[in-house]
Amino acid sequence: MTDPLALFDQWFAEARESEPNDPEAMALATVDPSAQPSVRMVLLKGHGPAGFVFYTNEQSAKGGQLAANPRAALLFHWKSLRRQVRIEGPVERVPDTDADVYFATRARDSQLGAWASDQSRPLDSSETFERRFAEMQQKFDGQGVPRPPHWGGYRVVPERIEFWTDRPHRLHERRLFVLAGDCWAEGLLYP
């Protein structure tokens, strides 16, 4: 039996070697309280047996959707390798201490942008955002930028992982792993 998390590690390492742009980019799909789906690209910032981690403004559209329905799907598409990985499962918050550690590694301008942005809310003009950014530069001048209280991390805990490999004539390989208790069940799907 193949361990899907070890297989992901292998594929991800290969993507880092061959994918020219953002091998850690993944589509994140959520649904709002009325079951309207929404998808956007985010960056994988950590992964392991506990799940797949990304960070964002918790007051954003995705943050609100995850608060209302803490389940999500992820999709990695590595075109250079002609591979995809789909992951589905419940979502949990990352501990604040982990979010603090990651936030401290971000570029200063990204840290300031997290304070200046009301992510996903209407913006009257780009000048308004630029003014707010300048205000944050002034506010934190000469000091470290702490993590905003509305900014944190999420972990998608995998229950289903599908590995898709492109093959000629649409004879693609689709390997599906489904968590059954503490073990993974493996099977194939028709392309």
Catalytic residue annotation = 170
CA distances (Å), origin 168, targets 48, 78, 82, 131, 171: 32, 17, 11, 53, 6
Do the Cβ atoms of 8 and 47 come closer than 8 Å?
Answer: yes
Read off the tokens for 49. Answer: 């047996």
108-134 burial: b if 16+ Cβ within 10 Å, else e: eeebbbbbbbebeeeeeeeeeeeebbe
**Strand residues in 18-70 grouped as ranges (E):** 25-31, 37-43, 46-48, 51-57
Burial of 165 by CB count in 10 Å (0-12 exposed, 13-18 middle, 19+ buried)?
Answer: middle
